[in-house]
Chain A
Amino acid sequence: MTDTVGFSADQDLFAVPGEPAIDQAYLAQGGDWKEIIESQRERADEIIVVNMGPVHPSTHGVMRLVIEMDGETVVSLRPAIGYLHTGIEKSAEFRTWTQGSTFATRMNYVSGIHNEAVFSLAVDELLGITDRMPRRATQLRVLAMETNRIASHLTAVGANCLELGATSPQEVGLRERERLLEFTEAWTGLRMNNAYIRPGGVQNDLPTDGIELLDELIKQMKINIPEIAGFMLDNPIFKLRTQNVGVMDLSTCMMLGATGPVLRAAGYPWDLRKAQPYLGYEHYDFEVCYEKSCDAYARFKIRCDEMMQSIRIVEQVRDELVESAGEPYRIQDPELEWPSDLTVGADGQGNSNEHIKHIMGESMEALIHHFKKVTQGFHVPAGQVYTAIEGPSGELGMHLVSDGGTRPYRMHMRDPGFHHIQTLPIMSEGAMLSDVFMALASLDPVMGGVDR
């Protein structure tokens, strides 16, 4: 290579000092592409290795793709993950069961409520209290999950469009997601990482103006969320980029254990909310959305449709919540329930004044109880369960082992993103480089959940 690019032929830009050059490295700094191309013309038929990531805007966070390419065609693709591994599962073994929600919600942070839900359902199951759960707790859980499903799908479809260079749908997506997060904040005290759903129920009841806020939210969502589908589904550029891209038919989905929108895009209407109902989903009237074209377009359309179905569920839960107003929102068992009464006040979330008065001024035993439950927590009978729910991007599973103590012995999240990353090679090999990102976006992996 000539001096114009700053490196001689025997130098390797990426080698450590003293290491012999493996191949020619190039440092392109504008204006010299023509020379590079001319000098390498005779090598044009070689397979090149492209390293994408770990920090690349199209990889949904910190994921690395090692791609072997023949021209623009992907010959082989290997995903490399683990860049966001923070040992959440290990940390959770050192904290109480109640604090486990706080860890679980940080896995797939975009659909954090679902992580809390599956963790809490698994703990409830270990405790054997699933059938004793007050109906309001179940309704609040469903409301939290379905609003969170919409927020997660909005992120998925928005990011999908952004990766095509279409910024408007992403703006709509972020705008509507913000509405949902504001509602969540008014209700749980936090936008994300809520730790709202906890073993034995939920953290707090709806605020006094909760139903009005929810009504306004439903009204706005019904107007605005169809906007994204309207923008994209008939758009010829979008169709060209997503139809017949990232194809996985039903047998491939079965072979690789794909779930969620990926499986439903292959024509199989499998939804755990219907197939193996939990939290009373069998009582809600909604449809399982599925498509038959097996491609990225179908998965996008399913997400758009599912948001509308989730609004239907939210409307039904709203009516139930009006009916159950004032009922307990967590299990009525002093051994298990959080010994306080959290409310969201004008100055943020905290204990209610009545509870503080009770433990500080009225009852020594209440103070001891409060202290014991908050610092030590409750015991969970020794055993193991695997619980699964329908997360926004597929089966979200929790394998939980208890040794009878106040902390999980082992907590493992089966994240659909982690599982689905495996399907990326089969969807991408033989396709164009530009199709890789559509295949990736159609899986909706969130690296916090993939790497945990």
Chain B
Amino acid sequence: MTETSETTPAGEVVNASETAALQFPFLSKVFVDGAPAPAPVIGERKGMWGSGSGSSDTSGFNNMTRQVCLGGEVNVPFGGWFDAVANRMAELVPHFAHRVTVWRDKITFHVVSDKLVELCKALRDDEELRFEVCVGMNGVHYPNDVDAELHAVYMLLSYTHNRRICLEASCPEADPHIPSVTSVYPMVNYHEREAYDMFGIVFDGHPGLTRILMPDDWAGHPQRKDYPLGGVPIEYKGAVVPPVNERRSYQQ
């Protein structure tokens, strides 16, 4: 994961990425554009106290802004067994990833949505990969990731090799379509229904994409960031307790 160099028997010093390139020739075909796409900015932090306190930030740092990106952005080589897996994935499905993150020793491939099903099939069926099971799938809403606001994260498990990887696909809020992987991983059926229910991601090809947790006639998708936490004002002896999403301690 870190840039290291080692000496070959012939005495030449080569760095880790060159070693990996020799050992894993297909790593150069992991990324769509040959190199990882820049990480999206998912948010912005202002001042010292967070944005919830507004004008009450008297720290003197209230004009300071920081842009937030999820950690773990990496280029090849990824380190450990990640390289072998990524190499085989790129061999079977070239140019499948926008970018890759390795965070806390766990790898996430941000994949091209159009290649998701093909990639899952390769991951399940190939002997060297053999990720038999997609244990779960979860949606995340990043309103600041323009044109890729809705993300779907798939957690894959290989019993054969005792490994885990994550795949992440994204789609714009305006056209929220991601191909369903139920044809490859039937067990992800309910999880996709939940992500549809909570985020409004439409999984094309799903056998019965209906709401699962909310009532069938519910309007809106509750886990989106612009969906309010809700609540009702409560009146007691003339005094009114505001609904939870208006209380200060719930403001973000």
Number of interface residues of B (CB under 8 A): 51
Interface membership of A403, Cβ < 8 A = yes
Residue of A nearest to B71 (CB): A383
- The smallest beta-carbon distance between A408 and chain B, in angstroms, is 11
**Nearest CB on A from B164, distance (A):** 7
Judge if B252 is at the interface, Cβ distance under 8 Å.
yes
B170 lies within 8 A of chain A by Cβ: no
Beta-carbon contact of B187 and A255 below 8 Å: yes
**Chain-A contact segment, one of B22-30, B172-180, B212-220:** B212-220
Main secondary structure of the interface of B (DSSP, over half): mixed
Q: Are A94 and B250 in contact, CB atoms less than 8 angstroms apart?
A: yes
With beta carbons under 8 angstroms apart, the residue of A94, A125, A409 that contacts B229 is A94
Q: Are B212 and A383 in contact (CB under 8 A)?
A: no
* Minimal Cβ-Cβ distance residue in A for B223: A90
Determine if A87 and B222 form an interchain contact, defined as CB atoms under 8 angstroms apart: yes
- Alpha-carbon separation in the docked complex, A91 to B136 (Å): 21
Q: Flag whether A21 is at the interface (Cβ < 8 A).
A: no
Q: What number of A residues sit within 8 Å (CB to CB) of B?
A: 49
Chain B hits for A128, CB < 8 A? 104
A177 to B227, CA, bound (A): 40
Residues of A within 8 A of B212 (CB): 81-82
A383 to B72, CA, bound (A): 7
Instruction: Tell me the nearest residue of chain A to B49, going by C-beta.
Output: A376
B35 interface residue (CB < 8 Å to A): no
CB pair A81 B213 closer than 8 Å: yes
Contacts of A395 in B (CB 8 A): 135
Q: Is the CB of B187 within 8 A of A422?
A: yes
Say yes or no: A384 contacts B190, CB within 8 Å: no
The answer to whether A270 and B159 touch (CB under 8 A), given A125-B104, A399-B153, A407-B252, is yes
Q: Is the CB of B68 within 8 A of A414?
A: no
**B43 contacts A256, C-beta separation under 8 Å:** no
Minimal Cβ-Cβ distance residue in A for B227: A90
Q: A404 in the interface, Cβ–Cβ < 8 Å?
A: yes
The residue in A376, A382, A388 that gathers the most chain B C-beta atoms within 10 A of its C-beta is A382
Contact A419 B136 (CB under 8 A): yes
Q: Which residues of the other chain, B, contact A89 by a CB distance below 8 angstroms?
A: 223
Asked whether, in the complex, the Cβ of B50 is within 8 Å of the Cβ of A405, the reply is yes
Indicate if the CB atoms of B252 and A257 lie closer than 8 Å.
no
Hey, which chain A residues are within 8 Å of B164, CB to CB? 276, 386, 388
**Complex formed: what's the CA distance from A45 to B178 in Å?**
43
Are B135 and A385 in contact, with the CB atoms below 8 A? no
A404 to B185 Cα, complex, angstroms = 33
Q: How far is the CB of A15 from chain B (nearest CB, A)?
A: 18
A254 with B133: CB separation less than 8 A: yes
Q: Which of B94-152 contact A (CB under 8 A)?
A: 101, 103-104, 106, 108, 132-136, 138, 140-141
Q: Considering the complex, give the chain B residue whose CB is closest to the CB of A405.
A: B50
A residues less than 8 Å from B188 (CB atoms) = 257
6 nearest A-B residue pairs (beta carbon): A257-B187, A414-B136, A383-B71, A82-B213, A85-B213, A412-B138
Q: Interface residues, chain B, CB within 8 Å of chain A?
A: 42-43, 45, 49-50, 68-72, 101, 103-104, 106, 108, 132-136, 138, 140-141, 153, 155, 159, 162, 164, 166, 185-191, 194, 211-215, 222-223, 227, 229, 244-245, 249-250, 252
Offer 19 A-B interface pairs, CB within 8 angstroms, sorted by A.
Answer: A81-B212, A90-B223, A93-B252, A255-B187, A276-B164, A376-B49, A382-B68, A383-B72, A385-B106, A397-B155, A399-B136, A399-B138, A403-B42, A403-B43, A404-B45, A412-B138, A419-B135, A421-B190, A422-B189
